[in-house]
Structure 1
């Protein structure tokens, strides 16, 4: 069995693996698994720090007191613009792995995190113009793209039977970057440190992740961008339906991660230390619970778990609305943390739906065996990058909704009412598209064997 070669490819330099066949059990056992796991751990490190830098401004705004001259609306717009950029760059980051190589792009994307971190370090003080802070928030958005390239890269290293575990670990390890930066911020605030101390802590870790990628990771020469699959995925309605549902789950997770501490400060008058001591709990639990959502989807069907998860999100949001109106901080905090947990469950269940949807389509097209599996892999892989990018835009919507709600009413209640209505629409879409029994199904059960089968997604 040929071992993976890390010698340069004939036309490109760097640590390129010429032969990679993880589906071959002997290859995987003898050489592949060790290489794949090594790349996974250092991919997680880079993506983790990327998430931390992306959500950095959710902590920065807690440091920005009255001396900065910013209104709550100004702060919400700062975190919203970082969310927007992070969502947009996910699309090119998805294709960068095949263009530059997974190792090479991890070095580039990790090193790029120095730009927003050093820029913020230089200007983070009262008297700096709002436009300068806006530029820094825009730069921080590049951290959001690391998720897309990291998931694309790790997907190529593992066999189909191991992808769920590997991608779940990769995604969860990245997502935990959100509560970690908030915990570090809490420690800095508790130690009476300033925002520059927080930024200074991250600069060496960014350098370490880039160096580790250079030393320990690999490129796979056989990875190519499948533009045909990408075009087909864009044309497929299910790509956009799942993007809409992912706005409700991941968009909520990342949007609330940015906004939670600021809402506690603005609506309930919490100090930076008080807000930071609560803010990290929701993102931490939401990150840790994501694999459970995938496991439940494996067992009961992703569409069913997603449906009832949206119902539970509606209940939690209703409790938040009541707490907001009654000005009950304990109920508000508990319900908000519960909503975070549900967004994490939904992240896992919605992502698990995607391969099943395209596999079902392949079978309905008359494909069987490996041909059907290959079609499902191509289309699901191509659609995931776009779904992840569109879903992240939900974070922008959440922060803009909070901004408008505080501008018009001085409270976030109106925004939460809008979120509740959106989750109700997500519930209805999930049921109508993926769980509603197709017309004629009962008749089909007794029809002749020649009858054309109905396409059903109830088990995805």
Structure 2
């Protein structure tokens, strides 16, 4: 045995969770790269409801679809490298957007620049895809009895950044202007990327593999270090394996509603509060953050513990009942206070459901966690890109009242997700015993 083989692993599960959460916090802020200041772009460019919906959803295009290949890559090479690349791409997109603003804003900015603004917004959203990479890594770091709680902490705390940026961006817009706001954001991304690269560590199995150990020996030593689950094949094999399991697609459909809904409404709500209820831009951002974005993230952080206690199936059923009732209220009300209460409950339902779905994932797809994480997070999160233009279409067709009636979209998909959750409850798999015993967590 060489000295490298005998050396202890770098870091521990708590360090991994901390730096992954920080990195995700940095990257996930890209969700709202346009949302909180959408009115500024809407006024300068003269955007229709559909074009506005496409613009605020641009970060979700890459942030969702890149989850599939990058999480599977993490399943074959470890999480640090793909995670760092995603953060770097996000910084590159923000740098491109900043360059456009420096050279054209305000007098030279026009619809001619819309395609570039869309592309750089999409590139800025690459950091969102780090979600599935982090989910894969944490799944390998933690044992089953704590995994749901730790996954929810990672996802819940990491997703607080859009809420904070939804508050800060309109304030920064008033203080330093649009260009200054994005310049500060660019620096934030660069610093966050450097911090992640300096402190991130791969899970034990990948550390031993990178030291040259054969697969069987690396698994044995990683098991001694506390790792319970292991990748079963290369990146593409992980995706193919997950895609052959029907439950992967059921989880994906539910995540399309829960997390996709969170992404879509985080970017759409500022315009909803501003145009339907008459709140100014700064107030609309603060209300969005406090009643939905931040609150939903906190509910998501608690959702893992709830799922571990009561079971993911029961938790998803309860959560989607809350989603259906909340959206039904939002469709028919123009009253500000009713809308505030319905938004809070909607955010709670979406947040807890998102946590419960990922608590179920390792149990439903134990042989392809990375591939399943990519499918669920990527195609599921794609709801954040698909839905805002549809909401914009309601506005184009019905005017201001379309901001309310557009919620019928979530009423319908919420009912579909509820039906899937009930189906999973009726046909849930029996508990499995890990094939490799593991010592207690650190």
Q: Structure 2 length normalisation: TM-score?
A: 0.81
User: Does 1:300 pair with 2:310?
Assistant: yes
| Structure 1: distance between partners of 2:144 and 2:314 | 23
In structure 2, the residue matched to 1:140 is 124
User: Does 1:414 pair with 2:405?
Assistant: yes
User: Does 1:172 pair with 2:156?
Assistant: yes
Name structure 2 gaps, 5 residues minimum: 210-230, 433-442
User: Does 1:434 pair with 2:424?
Assistant: yes
Specify the structure having the higher radius of gyration (Cα).
1
Residue 274 of structure 1, CA deviation = 2.2
In structure 2, the residue matched to 1:449 is none
User: Which structure has more RCO (C-alpha within 8 Å, separation ≥ 6)?
Assistant: 2
Aligned CA distance change for structure 1 residues 112 and 307 (closer, same or farther; 3 Å): same
Alpha-carbon contact 2:10-2:201 (below 8 Å) kept: no
Residue 457 of structure 1, CA deviation = 4.6
- SS of match in other structure, 1:70: coil
| Structure 2: distance between partners of 1:142 and 1:414 | 31
Alpha-carbon contact 2:296-2:350 (below 8 Å) kept: yes
In structure 2, the residue matched to 1:28 is none
Aligned residue among 225, 238, 242 for 2:234: 225
User: Does 1:121 pair with 2:131?
Assistant: no
Aligned residue among 343, 353, 375 for 1:346: 353
Q: Structure 1 length normalisation: TM-score?
A: 0.78
Aligned positions, number: 396
Alpha-carbon contact 2:151-2:359 (below 8 Å) kept: no
Aligned residue among 330, 336, 339 for 1:332: 339
Residue 130 of structure 1, CA deviation = 1.9
User: Does 1:321 pair with 2:331?
Assistant: yes
Residue 185 of structure 1, CA deviation = 0.9
In structure 2, the residue matched to 1:26 is none
CA deviations over 1:352-371 (Å, ceiling 9, x no partner): 2223335xxxxxxxxxxxxx
Residue 405 of structure 1, CA deviation = 0.5
Q: What is the correspondence of 1:228-239 to structure 2 with a 5 Å cutoff?
A: 228-239=237-248
Alpha-carbon contact 2:317-2:418 (below 8 Å) kept: yes
Alpha-carbon contact 2:48-2:396 (below 8 Å) kept: no
Instruction: Compute the RMSD of aligned alpha carbons.
Output: 2.7
CA deviations over 1:191-249 (Å, ceiling 9, x no partner): 53312222122222222222223322234343763644432220111111111111111
Alpha-carbon contact 2:162-2:294 (below 8 Å) kept: yes
CA deviations over 1:75-130 (Å, ceiling 9, x no partner): 11112232222111111211333565433333322222221211221223232322
Aligned CA distance change for structure 1 residues 232 and 107 (closer, same or farther; 3 Å): closer
Structure 1 segments, 4+ long, off by >6 Å, are none
